[in-house]
Structure 1
Amino acid sequence: MKLERLISMIYMLLNNEVLSASALAEKYGVSQRTIYRDIDAICAAGIPVVSYQGVHGGYGIMEEYKMDKSLLGSYDVGSLITILHSMSTVFDDERALDTINRLQTVRSGPAASSLSMDLGSRQHSNELLRLLRTAITGRRIIEFEYINMKNERAARVIEPIQLNYKHGNWYVYGFCQTRMDYREFRTSRMADLTLMNRVYTHDHAVNNRDPGPDWTKSANQEEVVLHFSADALARAMDHFYDMDKSFHDDGTLTITLKVPNSSDAKWLLPVLLSFGETVEVKEPLELRKALKTKLEKILKTYSEV
């Protein structure tokens, strides 16, 4: 613990002009007498710590000793700090904060970054992510209930390997003991996560991950044409940002996308239903029929209202 505190204190001193003994003592939860001993130990290691007297006095490191800030460009350092800061917020990671302090020592230019990033989610989701990361770093087997795309609930036991953030969602990748194969699970569909007392010993390679079929490159694709009213432009752009778009003089929008089989595109129906009356399926006819059938079932549910 003392060694970690000393290393962290060195980077704090490198990153600040002057730090008082009281401020250091408060940060590390020790007495000022302990800080004095730590400063002596740092000096004994050959790091030139300078003592400044007066009201605003404290400790600092000689400017000549500090790292050359030209080693990394300010853009590179700023981007790394932004990413690490977001990670430290999600995972409550002290090591990431220590790395930020180190990077601050070689940062040049303005402190404000041109990049901002928020990897976090709702608080309970962040707690789930922290549990998953604890399981991964500790190589602990986890058990949870999972709901798949077919809305089937099943208990899963996996050896977690990696957390992945993509398309605005978090996934955990690991070896599923239930299916005896590598699987990827969306964290939002996980419930009742339990960290088992068992530790797995297999050395899993991350590149074992099966990326799955890429339906955007599959043969026999079918064209879907959607027409959105002017009230739905923003949401339509959010959902279908990389699809072909045509804006019209009346403020409406037509979006064209391709899917392997529109009548079996179950993922598309809930998205279209969420737009309500602000979207109309122009093509194909099979998708129009599938959406109509779904709407009729919804109306039947509320027939007594």
Structure 2
Amino acid sequence: MRASRLLSVVLLLQDRGRLTAQQLAESLGVSVRTVYRDIEALAAAGVPVYAELGAGGGYQLVDGYRTRLTGLTPQEAGTIFLAGMPEAAAELGLGAVLTTAELKLRAALPARLSRHVDEIRDRFHLDPAGWFRETESHPHLAALAGAVWNRRRARMRYLRWRQPREVEREISPLGIVLKAGVWYFVAQVEADIRTYRVATILDLTVLDETFERPEGFDLAASWARWAADFERRLHRDEATVRLSPAGIERIPYLMTRAMARNVRDGLGEPGPDGWTTVTLPVESVKHAHADFLRLGADVEVLEPAELREMMRSSVAAMARFYS
């Protein structure tokens, strides 16, 4: 276990350059005291690692030093290929690059690891697309990815939900995210960091002008903040309903994650008839009307009155059709 961690220390310093003891500890999931002991062990073993003191200091390897201890375990080799998403790479314009890199990696693997990779692929498959929707068209995705990689500014014309529908913006594209089969991108627009759906781009021109990425920008953290805020903004209203046991079971499959979470966390004791009253976040009365109709006779809307009346009218109209 310690030998693996010592190798990880060397690889981290080789990959990232100078790192503080705290940064190493966080990356390895150990204490700072353990990092100190590991650095001493590496130095004693002849690894040319040294400490730079003062502000901005840390541990680093002597320039030009590179370890050859990079052998992969069967599990590591398998997970590298398992993590690949050829369809996503192709959409980004990197399909041929991924294929070439994969071939080079396979050629470098011992025969037993190469066989293990084939076994992994025979048993596991990653499909990132969501269910029940047509695949979106992304004619500008590859150009956008190139602008992200080369730090090139771009001018885009895109479609938004409010008036005026078509808007033109000059952007500094910072990163691309694939979420449940849907492509998004994060860009700096003047002083703001904004998130857009790639499919809304009507036209994209990559400019010759380059840009500097904002200091400390973290794509994963930025996306997590935006996604959480989007979910909060999406569910602006509430509805109080009664759910049958069957309705409770169907909520995770038919409703949004926020609604399912409320059912899981806010469910009280069922009444004598087995039904349970719960308050759910909804996007709007109109959206909730469509959502609750999917539950059929396993839901009764109590509030708001407007939504209850909409449900009553729809049920009465359906009853006339089938009477």
Length-normalised TM-score, structure 1: 0.52
- Name the structure 2 match of 1:98: 100
In the alignment, structure 1 segments of 5+ residues that lack a partner are 1-66, 300-305
C-alpha displacement at 1:164, in angstroms? 1.0
The residue number in structure 1 matching 2:195 is: 184
Q: Give 2:127's aligned residue.
A: 118
Give the aligned residue type for 1:84: G
Percentage of identical aligned residues: 13
* Distance verdict in 2 for CA 1:128–1:185, change over 3 Å: same
- Give the match for residue 45 of structure 2: none
CA distance in 2, matches of 1:183, 1:124: 21
Distance, in Å, in 1 between the alignment partners of 2:194 and 2:71 is: 41
Which amino acid is the alignment partner of residue 147 of structure 1?
R
**Residue 287 of structure 2, aligned match among 255, 270, 274:** 270
Match of 1:131 among 143, 146, 155: 143
Kindly state the Cα deviation for residue 292 of structure 1 after the two structures are TM-superposed: 4.4
Is residue 193 of structure 1 aligned with residue 203 of structure 2? yes
Residues 234 and 285 of structure 1, relative CA distance in 2, 3 Å threshold:
closer
Counterpart amino acid of 2:81? Answer: I
Mapped contact 2:145–2:176 kept (Cα < 8 A): yes
| 2:253 counterpart of 1:237 | yes
| More helix as a share of residues | 2
Partner Cα distance (1:176, 1:269) in 2: 33
Contact 2:81 2:117 (C-alpha < 8 Å) held by counterparts = no
Question: In the comparison of the two structures, how many residue pairs are matched?
Answer: 214
Partner SS, residue 203 of structure 1: coil
Which residue in the other structure is 1:63 paired with? Answer: none
Say whether 1:80 aligns with 2:80: yes
1:89 corresponding residue in structure 2: 90
Q: Which amino acid aligns with 2:194?
A: R
Show the 5 A alignment for 1:7-26: none
Whole-angstrom distance in 2 between the partners of 1:75 and 1:151: 52
Unaligned runs of 5+ in 2: 1-67, 317-323
1:160 matched to 2:167? The reply is no
Give 1:303's aligned residue.
Answer: none
Q: Following TM superposition, by how much is the alpha carbon of 1:235 offset from its aligned partner in structure 2, in angstroms?
A: 8.4
Q: Distance in 2 between matches of 1:253 and 1:240?
A: 21
Matched, 1:173 2:186: yes
CA-to-aligned-CA distance 1:258-286 (integer Å, 9 cap, x gap): 43xx5xx33x7436516645446535501
Q: Deviations over 1:225-271 (max 9, x none)?
A: 4748979977851544653369x9xxx99896743xx5xx33x7436
Distance apart, 1:81 and its partner CA? 1.6
- 1:128-182 per-residue CA deviation (whole Å, 9 max, x = no partner) reads 322321222232313122314x5762414122110012344321100124xx411
CA contact (8 A) 1:174 1:183 kept: yes
Conserved 8 A contact 1:135-1:142: no
Q: For residue 116 of structure 1, report the CA deviation from its aligned partner.
A: 1.6
1-structure distance, mates of 2:119, 2:249: 33
SS of the aligned residue for 1:71 comes to coil
Q: Where do 1:252-267 residues align within 5 Å?
A: 258-259=280-281, 262=282, 265-266=283-284
Please say if residues 172 and 211 of structure 2, whose CA atoms lie closer than 8 Å, have aligned partners that are also in contact. Answer: no
Distance 1:120 1:293, change over 3 A: closer
Question: Are 2:159 and 1:146 equivalent residues in the alignment?
Answer: yes
CA distance in 1, matches of 2:193, 2:312: 37
Question: What residue in structure 2 maps to residue 61 of structure 1?
Answer: none
Cα deviations by residue, 1:203-225 (Å, 9 ceiling, x for unpaired): 23533837145567xxxx96754
Structure 1 residues 90 and 222 mapped into 2: Cα distance closer, same or farther (>3 Å)? same
Whole-Å separation in 2 of the counterparts to 1:110 and 1:255: 51
Amino acid at match of 1:285: E
What is the RMSD of the two structures over their aligned residues, measured on CA atoms? 4.5
